[in-house]
Structures are given as C-alpha cells and as structure tokens.
Amino acid sequence: MQKPFAITLKPGTSLTNHTGTWRTARPVYLDRLPPCNNACPAGENIQGWLFHAESGEYEKAWRVLVENNPLPAVMGRVCYHPCEGACNRGQLDSSVGINSVERFLGDEAIKRGWKFAAPAASSGKKVLVVGAGPSGLSAAYHLARLGHKVEIQEAGPLAGGMMRFGIPKYRLPREVLDAEVQRILDLGVTLKFGTKVANIEQSMKDGGFDAAFLAVGAHIGKRTFIPAGDATKIVDAVSVLRSMEGEDKPMLGRRVVVYGGGNTAIDVARTAKRLGASEAIIVYRRTRDKMPAHDFEVEEALQEGVMVKWLSTIKQAGEGNITIEKMALDEKGYPQPTGEFETLEADSVVLALGQDVDLSLLEGVSGLEIKDGTVQVSPNMMTGHPGIFAGGDMVPSERTVTVAVGHGKKAARNIDAWLRGATQEVPPKHELAEFDKLNTWYYSDADKTVRPMLDIIRRQTSFDEVQGGLNESTALFEARRCLSCGNCFECDNCYGVCPDNAVIKLGPGKRFEFKYDYCKGCGLCVAECPCGAIKMVAEDI
C-alpha cells in the first residue's frame, strides 16, 4: 500500500493555497532612467516624446519635447547628440536617430504653426535676461511660462547669439532660427536690440527688475602672437563668421589658412570654400584623434576639399605666405617642435583658437567670483550676488547650444524658486536602464535612417543647408526603433509568461500590478521584460 504524501512545514507557517511564503525575492515594477535622457544636457524627456512620435502623434510629441527645450528645430540641426552616443540600441545595431526625429518635430511645428501654451497667471515679478543667445532665450521662455515678466536686452542687432553669429547658414538656416525665436517672443517676452548692459546692477535698478540672468556669449576671439612684417591678412574666426550676417562678406582671398582644431575652425574653412577660395587649409598642432572638432564635421570638410596640416604650427606670417613648423609626438603623446619648416602661400590667416566672454558688465558688482574668464555660480546657477544668475558661455562648462539651453532652463526654475522665497527641489534620479537590463531577443535588426546630404558641388558653391531632414515615413520608422529602455510600454509579456497568473492588467495606460499571494518569485517576468522595467528584490524574511 502506497504511503500518504506528507509536507513538512517550517515552524510558524501554515498550509494554504497561496505561494507567497515560499519566495526569497519578489518582482517589482519600476521606472528606470533611459540613458538618452540621462545624457541630454538640455534635460529633455527624450523617451517621453519618442513614445508619442512612434504613434504618429507628432504635436503631442513636440509638446512633451518643448517642456524642456524651446528650440527643437534648431537643436535638431546643431546639437551633437550625446543622447545617441548613450543610446542602448547602439549596442544592438545602431543608435536611434533621436536628433533626426527632433528636427522633424521642430520643422513640423514651424510648418503647421504650433504655438506654445499660454503662460501661467502673472507673478508680478520682473526678470532681466542679458543676451539673446540659446541660454538667454531658453531662460526667457521658461520664466515666461512660469508667469514672470521677462525682458531680454541684446547688444547686437539680431537674436540668436552664437547660433546666428557662430554657426554658418549651411548648418542652420536663418528662417528656422527666426521662427523659433518668434515663438518665444509670442509668449509676451520683450526683446530690446542694441542694448549693451554696461553695469548689471544699474540696469536692474533702472528697469525695476527683481532678478537677472546673465547669458552673454563668447564673442571675443582669442589671439596669439605670430611674428609678421608686411604680413598676410590676419583675422579672427568669430569676426569672419559674424560678418557673414551682413551685406559685405569677408574678403579672405583665394588661399586661406585657418589656425586651430575646433568646430569653429572647421566652419571657417568650409565657409572660405563657399566664398570662392581655391585652397582652405587648416593648420593644427596635434593629430586627428586629438582634434576637438567633431569627427563627422571633419569628414564633411574633407569631402568639400578642405585640407588639413596635422602636427603643424604657424611660426611666422610673411607677405602672401606663412611659415609652419612640423611637430612630432613625444613618448607621452604631446607635440614637440622638430625644426623642420614649410612655406604655404596664404592671402589670409584666420585664427580659430577659442573665444572669451566680455565680463565688463560685472565690474564693481559685490560678491562675484571670476576665475579663468568665467563667473563662478552655485548649484542653483546664482552668482555670489543675490538675485543675479548666470549660465551658458559665462560659466565653467562645455560651450554648446544644448548645454546653454539646459542652463537657461535650470536657471529659470531656480530664479522662480528664489523669487518665491523657496528652494528648487530636484527629485532624485531613477537608476539607469543599462543595456544588460534589456531583453533584446524581442527586437529585430533595423539600422538607423541616414539623413540625406546635399551633393558635393552645391556644398562647395552655395550656403544651402548641407544635411536634410527626415520625412514623415522615415521619422515614424526611426521613432519606432526606440527600445523604451527602463519604462513599461504595456507589451503584455509579463502578463503572458507568468505561470502563476500573478500579473494583473490595470487597463490601458495604467500598466500592471503583482498579486504577491500567487507569485512564487520565479523571476520569469524579469527575464522576459524587453525594456527592463521589472526587477527582483529580496524578501524581508
């Protein structure tokens, strides 16, 4: 006769039809931080707007995007997209073309006339923004949406700052820039041109401003000493690019040498070719892998006929020529002079050695700390003088449009808190959704959409935009390549694979919950979640 089946229970437990007491760990739903969001200097909710874009809800996508960045059509052209470098899909096939989709949404907004939502009720506070570049425009936008009266005072004749005077038209068409600036002004922001602030405290007093945000761009080109007699014409890159906005274009001649290795050097050399130079040569003292210019821009310049003299430095400028010295790398990888010289014919030399900020408006202001040509600010973007905040090129940071836009947003939110006598509370970041948290078995290969490029001949002879945008079909495809890293998109995998029927659907948009009485903690839901939105946590036994 067969013996009866028996179960030995732990002391203090009872036999029920539940499984919860058997677990050592339980699954929990969570939202992880997508690496694209984490890498964006402007703090965009990239995954959030891609979610709407991949459903074809482009206006919804645009509105989520502009909660953080008011210049998507500009950013879709000039941002160096660190988000794409961080994208998990890059480890699967190729990163999502986030920047391409952002440009598409920005262009759609201009084409369809989408406007920003009306500002909040007036706060009764007045804020001065100094400079109409990306940081100043961003701050003005966010401050206006928060209900503050904003006035931008700009020393120049046009808005955009270094976006207009430092980025050539072949990268950023001016009608795109103007359209996005106008949308900000439509919120009720006042913009005064030709208004150079000589003393910030006096300007605040005269205008009755409660706070100020300083966003003066780096418009002063750095110089270096080059021995010269009856020399070739020597000019700085900022002046060359700035003069492109006027009626009289710069006269650089047929043979142009550009001294430097950053993106500005690339822009000037490519501009010189478009102005008719037969030779545009960049002289750079290090190797290509050390060049601060972005590699894709270097490649585009080479395609257009720009030449580069690597490991070279200018020693002297003569009449119609320059002398360069060849360099060699030492054992530590630093360039050292060799004593070998070469002569290059040159009608002009353009110095692209970086830019400085004019800080004269801060003279006599108490509490400020200036270090290495920049204003020191606290984590809330406020200087040492109460009520005066600063961002963009004026503070220690990477000098890009995206970083500047992020500074403007951060400063605006902290200015708003300061005006209310409060402190801006920043919630802690979620844990990062790393690639190993995903189950990529559910995704098929789909390579990144390549943006169209203008043909070489037109690139060399006109200032037409070089890189084209996506159409609706390709933008939709690109948005759908997003893996939704770290955040549930209700694919129903956990619901379908759970052997215990412990996953409960809560309805569209409400996601799921676990009934732990029926969950034995097998972890199958975690293993099969494509986006890493579930993890196992130890039971408190």
The CATH number of residue 339's host domain is 3.50.50.60
CATH number of the domain bearing residue 514: 3.30.70.20
| Residue 249 falls inside a structural domain | yes
- Domain extent at residue 458: 35-114+438-479
Which amino acid type is present at position 367? Answer: G
CA–CA dist 41, 158 (Å, integer): 25
Shared domain for 53 and 83, answered yes or no, is yes
* Spatial contact of 285 and 312, defined as CB atoms under 8 Å apart: yes
**Confidence at residue 1, expressed as pLDDT on a 0 to 100 scale:** 45
**Confidence at residue 426, expressed as pLDDT on a 0 to 100 scale:** 85
**In this structure, how many other beta carbons lie within 10 angstroms of the beta carbon of residue 230?**
8
Q: Which residues contact 379 (CB under 8 A, 6 or more apart)?
A: none
**Confidence at residue 3, expressed as pLDDT on a 0 to 100 scale:** 43
Shared domain for 194 and 235, answered yes or no, is no
Q: Which residues contact 425 (CB under 8 A, 6 or more apart)?
A: none
CATH number of the domain bearing residue 110: 1.10.1060.10
Q: Which residues contact 243 (CB under 8 A, 6 or more apart)?
A: 249, 250
| Residue 11 falls inside a structural domain | no
Shared domain for 233 and 286, answered yes or no, is yes
* Spatial contact of 115 and 186, defined as CB atoms under 8 Å apart: yes
| Residue 425 falls inside a structural domain | no
| Residue 121 falls inside a structural domain | no
Short-list 387, 388, 384, 386, CA closest to 368: 384
CA–CA dist 332, 362 (Å, integer): 41
Shared domain for 43 and 147, answered yes or no, is no
Shared domain for 187 and 286, answered yes or no, is no
SS (H, E, C) 425-445: CCCCCCCECCHHHCCHHHCCC
Q: Residue 525: phi, psi to the nearest 5?
A: -65, -40
Shared domain for 154 and 170, answered yes or no, is yes
First-to-last CA distance in the chain? 40
| Residue 119 falls inside a structural domain | no
pTM of the full structure: 0.91
Shared domain for 337 and 283, answered yes or no, is yes
Shared domain for 381 and 506, answered yes or no, is no
Domain count, the chain: 4
Per-residue pLDDT of the chain (541 residues; tens, 9 = 90+): 444 434 343 444 333 334 456 788 999 999 999 999 999 999 999 999 999 999 999 999 999 999 999 999 999 999 999 999 999 999 999 999 999 999 999 999 999 999 999 998 999 999 999 999 999 999 999 999 999 999 999 999 999 999 999 999 999 999 999 999 999 999 999 999 999 999 999 999 999 999 999 999 988 888 887 877 666 688 999 999 999 988 788 899 999 999 999 999 999 999 999 999 999 999 999 999 999 999 999 999 999 999 999 999 999 888 888 999 999 999 998 999 999 999 999 999 999 998 889 899 999 899 999 998 999 999 999 999 999 999 999 999 999 999 999 999 999 999 999 999 998 888 899 999 999 999 988 888 888 999 999 999 999 989 999 999 999 999 999 999 999 999 999 999 999 999 999 999 999 999 999 999 999 999 999 999 999 999 999 987 5
Last residue of a domain, one of 479, 503, 529: 479
Shared domain for 131 and 165, answered yes or no, is yes
Short-list 260, 300, 305, CA closest to 280: 305
Tokens for 283, please give them: 């002289």
CA–CA dist 426, 446 (Å, integer): 37
Shared domain for 296 and 411, answered yes or no, is no
CA–CA dist 516, 23 (Å, integer): 10
Q: Are strands 503-505 and 534-538 parallel, antiparallel or unpaired?
A: unpaired
Shared domain for 254 and 131, answered yes or no, is no
| Residue 251 falls inside a structural domain | yes
Sign of the dihedral through C-alpha 189, 194, 199, 205: negative
* Spatial contact of 134 and 166, defined as CB atoms under 8 Å apart: no
Shared domain for 238 and 336, answered yes or no, is yes
**Confidence at residue 224, expressed as pLDDT on a 0 to 100 scale:** 81
| Residue 3 falls inside a structural domain | no
Last residue of a domain, one of 301, 330, 355: 355
| Residue 93 falls inside a structural domain | yes
CA–CA dist 503, 511 (Å, integer): 10
Which amino acid type is present at position 318? Answer: G
